[in-house]
Structure 1
Amino acid sequence: MARKNVFEVSPDVNEVEPVRVQPQLGRPLLGLERPIRPASPVGAISQSLENINSRAHRADEIEKKLAEGLVIVELDTALIDGSFVVDRLGIDSEDQSSLVDQIREHGQQVPILVRPQPDSEGRFQVAYGHRRLAAAKELGRTVRAVVRDLTDEQLVVSQGQENNSRTDLSFIERSFFGARLEDRGFSREIIMASLGVDKAALSRMIALIKRLPPELIEAIGAAPSLGRLRWAELADMLEEKGKRAKALKVVQQPDFLSQKSDDRFQAVYTELKTRNLTNPTEAKSWAPEDKTVCVVAKTRPKGVSLDITKAEARPFADWITGNLDSLYEAFRKSKQEN
């Protein structure tokens, strides 16, 4: 699948051609305005003193590489923070182990995208590439990265589009990510651009998230094999009396998190479905002395149904239907009297 790349960052190091640029007399990447002085005896002494400060030294090294025209730089993983909005609901250990092995054998083929950390000079923040960053940390290597000055809006759009182009995130992860962005005040237009969905689809995604307890979503995780219909069915069951508490009790079991994410979803779903079959409804019945009619009122999560049987069922039902106005008025008067 072709990668969406709104910031024109090359997705593959093999496609990156060095662009020679003139050295910059400053450190715009890290926001350090102090100019770099030309080489001289005094300048050499100043440089030696600067090397005492490890942060300034690292900045010099990064800027040197950028001045030489390299688009991709090597960064210490200890200097990189995660995005301010997490898009993943956990990382599958087997998938991550496979990525680590791949990078160990072939190197990091695709750079990550970072921006200078707005709140901490000398640090960076990931737009996308969290798994590659984690793999580099595990291997004790530097990570190859493209550095761009990004606004918050540009970061989340880049983060979302990168994952969309890789079909990396599951339905619930994308929906949860969208809801988190809205909670942080991002406009629907920015969220739609990030997720690559239209207004109607985004509304459905966020509406579904609001029906699900966040702690339940985070406990179940990505559930990569499951789409909107299964999550919507789970949300419907959670609206039944007592089901939300039962679902949260399931995820608190000691062995729950040891299961695969899809299996965790199924464990919650099966528990709620099983209980629903054993106690489907609360029913009350009524019949006159001659037993010519029988009415059973069944209470369900979203309403009450009347089941009328026996010989007089049809005419009695017709009579009720024809007298609903007077019956409802009598009902309202009884409430006022009570």
Structure 2
Amino acid sequence: MTTPMPDPSGAPVDDDLLRRAYALMVVTRALDTSAVTWQRQGLLPAYPPLRGQEAAQVGSVLGADLTSDLLFPTYRELGVAVAADVDLVGYFGNHLGHWNGGLYDPVASRLAPIQAVVGGSVLHAVGWALGRALDGENGVAVAYLGDGASSQGDVHEAMNFAAVLEAPVVFFVQNNRWALSVPLHRQVAGESVAARAGGYGIPGLVVDGDDVAAVYRAMRTAVEHARATRQPVVLEAMTYRRGPHATSDDPGRYRSLADEATAGADPIDRLRDRLTASGAADESWFADVDTDATGRIDALHAVLVASSPRPGADLFEHVFVHPTPQLTAQHARWREESDRV
């Protein structure tokens, strides 16, 4: 039987939290824009932009408890990494194509390794949460997924198992209205992922994903509910992907600029207007935030440019404790061909 969730609107949000959220969102936007440029310049082989989803990602992290909870990202969670204070040099190892999927510490940072398989992270989140609960720990897993991923069978299995086995998981759906080139109405029946929660006997909640305060309140409430009841929650943040699915994608082939204009106010502009109207920040403070973001980008860029590829031999030396004959033969062939180059 579903245990009702408290009303998330009662969670307190003060000016300090909003200023922190704004600074994190600005850094995320600046890094995201730069990463697209770096991909075009050949520094990154590929990159999945998140422009427009900064409030959803930053607000979700601020609402979790990183002393005990663990975040399970997809390949589009740069804002989550920024808000969780993950080592960005290590994080961008993923986008540099390093064999190990990045060089940051998942345990210390509370950000699990990036998952490129669509819907794959949700099953990992359920397994981790169940293990923690069985050990008597109070950690909650936050599983990130998009509206497109919600159509994967893995997501159904994860939600069903989490409900049946009482695993404390928050399924955080960033509904950005596009599953690559397929619009929401053509791939999610009813156009709501949270509505499916009732079928699993768990709470479902929809929140304005472009309002960082609303996302923070909803995530904090959902995480605490999952922690207290060992009942998973589906939290759907309605937002909009204001750019391509990836740097290999051309959104102009399936939507127009007029479509993007209907997305509503930009989430960063919305928060800036709120801070300005309340007197919580002035132009000098906003300028300092922009300067700090530029400095962080320049420092990261310098390190990425100077970084060298991981040794190719690592592809073979870290697969098995006792290499198979086939792997040994492949390693020998690779070395022979590499020596000819």
Q: Which band: TM-score by shorter chain?
A: under 0.3
Normalised by the length of structure 1, the TM-score is 0.22
Q: Which has the higher contact order (CA 8 A, sep 6+)?
A: 2
Q: Could you say which structure has the larger radius of gyration?
A: 1
